[in-house]
Amino acid sequence: MGELPRPSHVYNRGRRNQAFVWVGIALSSITLLCLPAYWYSYTSSNTNHHIPANAAHVLGRCGELEFMPGPPVNFAGREQSDRFEAGTPPTIIHNATIWTGNHGGHEIVKGDVLLNKGLVRWVGGPYLQEAQSLYGSNLVIVDAKGAWVTPGIIDLHSHLGVDSAPELDGASDTNSVKGITQPNLKSLDGLNTHDDAFRLSISGGVTSVNVLPGSANAIGGQAFPIKLRTTTERSPSSKLIEQPGSPTSTGWRQMKHACGENPSRLYKGTRMDTMWAFRAAYNKARTLVHRQDKFCSAAKQGHWSSIRGEDFPEDLEWEALADVIRGKVKVHNHCYEAVDFDGIVRLTNEFKFPIAAFHHAHEAYLVPELIKKTWGKTPAIAMFAINARYKREAFRGSEFAARILSDNGLRVVTKSDHPVMNSRHLLFDAQQANYYGLNASLALASVTTTPADVLGLDHRIGYLRAGYDADLVIWDSHPLALGATPSQVFIDGIAQLTPAYVVAKPKSFQYLPATPNFDKEAAAAIKYEGLPPLIPRKKFQNVIFQNVNSVWSRVDGGVGIEKAFSAQPGSVGTVVVQNGKITCTGSCENFIEHGYTTLDLAGGSLAPGLATYGSPLGIAEIQGESSTQDGDVFDPLTGSVPSILGGDSSVIRAEDGLQFATRDAELAYISGVTTAITAPAHSGVFSGYSTFFSTGAAHKLEKGAVLRHTTALHVTIGYSSNGSPSVSTQIATLRRLLLGGGEGDLKAAFATVTDGDIPLVVSAESADVIATLVHLKKEVETSTGKALKLTISGAAEAHLLAAELGVADIGIILSPVRPFPSQWQQRRILPGPPLTEQSAVSALIAHNVTVGLAVQEAWESRNARFDAAWVALEAGLSDKQALSLVSSNLEKLLGAKVSSEEADIVAYHGGDIFERSSKVVGVISPRRSLVDLF
- Is the distance from CB of 852 to CB of 885 less than 8 angstroms? yes
- Is the distance from CB of 691 to CB of 658 less than 8 angstroms? yes
Alpha-helical regions (H) of 723-801: 727-738, 744-754, 767-784
Per-residue pLDDT tens for 352-371? 999 999 999 999 999 999 99
Amino acid 223 reads A
Residues of the chain with pLDDT under 70: 1-49
- Which residues fall within 8 angstroms of residue 209, CB to CB, at 6 or more apart? 154, 155, 158, 160, 201, 225, 226, 228, 418, 423
Specify the pLDDT at position 666: 98
- Is the distance from CB of 274 to CB of 259 less than 8 angstroms? yes
DSSP state of 239: G
Specify the pLDDT at position 49: 58
Distances from the Cα of 241 to the Cαs of 226, 466, 560, in angstroms?
A: 5, 18, 53
Specify the pLDDT at position 595: 82
Phi first, then psi: what are they for 556, rounded to 5°? Answer: 55, 45
- Kindly state the helix (H) or strand (E) to which residue 157 belongs, with its residue range: strand 153-158
- Is the distance from CB of 784 to CB of 821 less than 8 angstroms? no
- Is the distance from CB of 72 to CB of 21 less than 8 angstroms? no
Q: What gap in Å lies between CA 324 and CA 321, rounded to an integer?
A: 5
Number of H helices, E strands in the chain: 24, 34
- Which residues fall within 8 angstroms of residue 580, CB to CB, at 6 or more apart? 541, 924, 925, 926, 927, 928, 929, 930, 931
pTM: 0.93
- Is the distance from CB of 181 to CB of 281 less than 8 angstroms? yes
Specify the pLDDT at position 466: 96
Q: What gap in Å lies between CA 510 and CA 492, rounded to an integer?
A: 26
Per-residue pLDDT tens for 136-148? 999 999 999 999 9
